[in-house]
Amino acid sequence: MSIRIRRDDCVGCGECVEACPGNLIKLDDEGLARMRRPRDCWGCTSCLKACPAGAVEFYLGADMGGTGATLGFSREGTISHWVVTCPDARRETIDVDSANANKY
Ligand code: SF4
Ligand code: SF4
């Protein structure tokens, strides 16, 4: 498992650095986020949820979305948008409302 950080979108806020429980992300000499040890990532998605710029993507395994598919994240109020982008550019969005989290 691993993530990809889109440097063009990164604003260098460091939120992902703080969020990663494995200390796997650092700010580099350009002040942008970079993975230290991609192979150590266990896919907790904390960095995706912490990034205010939507600059972090998570690679999905073949059993979850197909090799090369990615998972992105953005938030509007209590709504979390999880976006799966397939290798052929198809997109599926899953919306989760945290206001309903305790209703199930
Ligand atoms: S997915 Fe979790 S373990 Fe992997 S880099 Fe992000 S915060 Fe760290
Ligand atoms: S949280 Fe997002 S914008 Fe901030 S440093 Fe990390 S990747 Fe860049």
User: Could you report the per-residue pLDDT of 42-65, keeping only the tens digit for each?
Assistant: 989 999 999 999 999 998 877 665
Instruction: Tell me the pLDDT band of 91, cut-offs 50, 70 and 90.
Output: very high
Q: What is the pLDDT of residue 44?
A: 93
- Mean pLDDT over residues 15-41, rounded? 96
What Cα–Cα distance (Å) separates residue 34 from each residue in 3, 28, 61? 10, 6, 21
Distance 33 CA to ligand 1 centre (A): 12
For ligand 1, atom 2: residue with the closest CA: 44
Q: Which domain holds residue 76?
A: 3-103
Number of domains in the chain: 1
Helix (H) or strand (E) holding 19: helix 15-19
For ligand 2, atom 2: residue with the closest CA: 51
22 ligand 1 Cβ < 6 A? yes
Ligand 1 atom with the smallest distance to the CA of 45 is 1
Q: What is the pLDDT of residue 65?
A: 55
Q: Is the pLDDT of residue 31 over 80?
A: yes
Instruction: Tell me the pLDDT band of 1, cut-offs 50, 70 and 90.
Output: low
- Mean pLDDT over residues 89-98, rounded? 92
Q: What is the CATH number of the domain that holds 68?
A: 3.30.70.20
Residues annotated as part of the active site: 42
20 ligand 2 Cβ < 6 A? no
Ligand nearest to the Cα of 19, by number: 1
Ligand 1 atom with the smallest distance to the CA of 16 is 7
The mean of the pLDDT values for the chain is 91
